[in-house]
Amino acid sequence: PTRPYVIDEMISAKTIAARIEDLAREIHDAFEGTDKLVVVGLLRGSFVFIADLVRELDLPVEVDFLEASSYGDGTESSREVKIMKDLRGQIGGRDVLLVEDIVDTGFTLKHVVGLLKARKPAHMKTIALLNKQSRREVDINADWVGFEIPDEFVVGYGIDFAQRNRNLPYIGKVRFT
Ligand code: PRP
Ligand code: MN
Ligand code: MG
């Protein structure tokens, strides 16, 4: 149902894995001594990243998920973030790391950070594998970013184009043919 396209590799699986090792070390240092870190994955896009990240994280961890959607099957943000599924656990008074695959306009991250902060976590930090700073429309940034990327439509490593290509092991950019 979309125009034909090919995917050009942009960030290899190896490069992603190496970056995640470094990020995990930084997160470990930031949360050292925590009794438990609640790592919250923002579905669906972050499912691959959170899986790799928590396995590099040498801390007591609880994993929870929240599903938000703003793009649907399109390539344009609706700028309206719908919560499709809430957390299972409580985060009040807890240490929380919110894990996002990509920050683009920023609407999704800003909305979810607001939602979770209202629940009064003890400490909350955010991490995004990818950041498209040039596309930002609202004032929000992740505390940790894996890679700054240009304004290209990317897929893979959890990220979809109309729900496809999430299973690619690398980050690629969509090129219409
Ligand atoms: C994508 C992506 C981020 C968000 C970033 O999610 O996974 O969550 O958009 O865009 P923004 O900064 O402009 O808000 P999407 O709504 O496509 O849902 P998905 O994760 O289920 O694919
Ligand atoms: Mn998403
Ligand atoms: Mg999507």
ipTM: 0.98
Provide the pLDDT for residue 112.
97
Q: What is the pLDDT of residue 127?
A: 99
pLDDT attached to residue 1: 65
Write down the domain spans for the chain: 13-154
Q: What is the pTM of this model?
A: 0.96
What's the confidence (pLDDT) of residue 70? 86
Residue 45 CB less than 6 A away from ligand 1: yes
pLDDT score, position 17: 98
95 annotated active-site:
no
| 154-155 sheet: strands from edge to edge | 5-11, 171-176, 154-155
Residue 131 bridge partners (DSSP): 103, 148
Q: Are 7 and 177 in contact (CB under 8 A)?
A: no
Those residues of the chain that have pLDDT short of 70 are: 1
Tell me the CA–centroid distance for residue 43 and ligand 2, in Å.
Answer: 6
Q: Report which residue type is found at 24.
A: A
Of 3.30.1330.10, 3.40.50.300, 3.40.50.2300, 3.40.50.2020, the CATH number of 13-154 is 3.40.50.2020
Residues by chain with Cβ below 5 Å of ion ligand 3: 71, 160
CB of 45 closer than 8 Å to CB of 103: no
> Which tokens go with 28?
């470990």
